[in-house]
C-alpha cells in the first residue's frame, strides 16, 4: 500500500535539484563535443587558405589566397560607377 502512495506523488523540488545540478556538471566532464573541436580546427585551417571573391555575373567564388597574391592588378582605385558597370556585363 505504501508503494502506491509513492507512485502518485509528483517529483518535488528537492528531488529535482540533484538532477539539475548533475546536468550542469556534464560540460566539465569532457563528454561533450571533443570531436567537434578537432573538426572545427580543420575547417578553420581550410578557410584560411581560401578567399571569397565576386565574379562579374554576381556569383561568389572561393579562390586560393596564393593565386590572388600572384595575380596582376588591371585597374587600381576603381570607382563605384565603373564597378557597377562592370557587374552589369553579361
77 alpha-carbon distance from chain centroid: 34
The domain of 68 spans: 2-28+48-87
Among candidate residues 66, 62, 45, 43, the one with its CA nearest the CA of residue 53: 62
Q: What is the pTM of this model?
A: 0.34
More confident call, 44 vs 78? 78
Residue 77 lies in a domain: yes
Chain mean pLDDT for the chain: 75
Greatest alpha-carbon span in the chain: 90
pLDDT band at 76 (very low <50, low <70, confident <90, very high): confident
Residue 37 lies in a domain: no
pLDDT single digits (tens) 16-45: 888 888 888 777 776 555 566 566 555 555
Residue 35 lies in a domain: no
How many folded domains does the chain comprise?
Answer: 1
Residue 41 lies in a domain: no
Amino acid at each position: 500500500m505504501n508503494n502506491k502512495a509513492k507512485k502518485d506523488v509528483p517529483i518535488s523540488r528537492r528531488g529535482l535539484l540533484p538532477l539539475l545540478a548533475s546536468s550542469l556538471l556534464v560540460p566539465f566532464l569532457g563528454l561533450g563535443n571533443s570531436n567537434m573541436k578537432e573538426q572545427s580546427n580543420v575547417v578553420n585551417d581550410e578557410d584560411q587558405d581560401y578567399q571569397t571573391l565576386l565574379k562579374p555575373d554576381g556569383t561568389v567564388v572561393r579562390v586560393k589566397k596564393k593565386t590572388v597574391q600572384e595575380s596582376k592588378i588591371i585597374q587600381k582605385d576603381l570607382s563605384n560607377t565603373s564597378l557597377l558597370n562592370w557587374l552589369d556585363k553579361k
